[in-house]
Amino acid sequence: MGEAKRLLKELEEIIQKTYVLPSAIARIYLGLGESDKDFDWFDKAIDDHDSATLHPPVYPIFDPLRAHPCYHALLRKMNLG
């Protein structure tokens, strides 16, 4: 967890200077178990047409999110649900 938080802090500084894929930040929050922030960043990833959202999120990394209502809202936003 300490490494993920360090990376997140580093990315927050980088975001001030350049574009960072929102899905990269979302995955860090996913790893930290912070689903509210995770969904906010995945939502931004969809809006930004982030390449991580071009394919249906069928990867096991999304397993912890599947029961969450926000997950289904994101699928609808991507016209997948």
pLDDT digit string (tens) for 49-81? Answer: 888 776 656 777 778 888 888 888 888 888 876
**Which pLDDT does position 13 carry in this prediction?**
92
pTM of this prediction? 0.79
Categorise residue 22: left if φ over 0, alpha if ψ from -120 to 50, beta otherwise: alpha
* Cβ-contact 52, 23 below 8 angstroms: yes
Task: Give the DSSP letter string of 14-69.
Answer: HHTTS---HHHHHHHHHHHT-HHHHHHHHHHHHHTT-GGGSS---SGGGGGGTTSH
> What number is the average pLDDT over the span 33-46?
89
DSSP structure class, residue 1: -
pLDDT at residue 57, as a whole number: 64
